[in-house]
Structure 1
Amino acid sequence: MELKDMLADWQDYDVAAFRLGVFLGVFPPDQKFSGVKRMFWMDGYPLGDMLVDFLDRMAQTGVLLKDEEDERYKWNPEPPDLS
């Protein structure tokens, strides 16, 4: 499954970061979110911080849309201008 399909609808930051991790192969495809969710909610988990930071960078470049108020992300249906 492509990341754009995984993030087609708004996802809370932790679920979006988890799905990014699955897409990148950080987590196995059969990994349940409940088994790793604490790494996105607690300080001291560099992997969780890195995945959320990557989501923020993707939003800054226009690949993702970010809802600042609700801390959620989704794929931008209009691709960024790369020229």
Structure 2
Amino acid sequence: MGAPLELCQKQRAVIEFLVAEGETPVNIHRRLQNVFEDHSNVCRWVRRLKDEKVGTVSVADKPRSGRPSVRFCESCQ
């Protein structure tokens, strides 16, 4: 099972910051492991962030089609 959405966004923000500072993917991975104990997707995010201008990539997930991971019913709201 993956990390909660909020944790993933925090990790992406850290990755963006460290890429902007010129940190290597190996060191980013090591630093994330030390803090978050989760190292998923570091290389993918580093590649994506290196191709973009600093501060222009959103750390939020993009909307996608398919079944939602959480269902809200009208009576519950």
TM-score (normalizing by structure 1): 0.31
In terms of Rg, which structure is larger?
2
**Which has the larger share of strand?**
1
Q: Which is helix-richer, 1 or 2?
A: 2
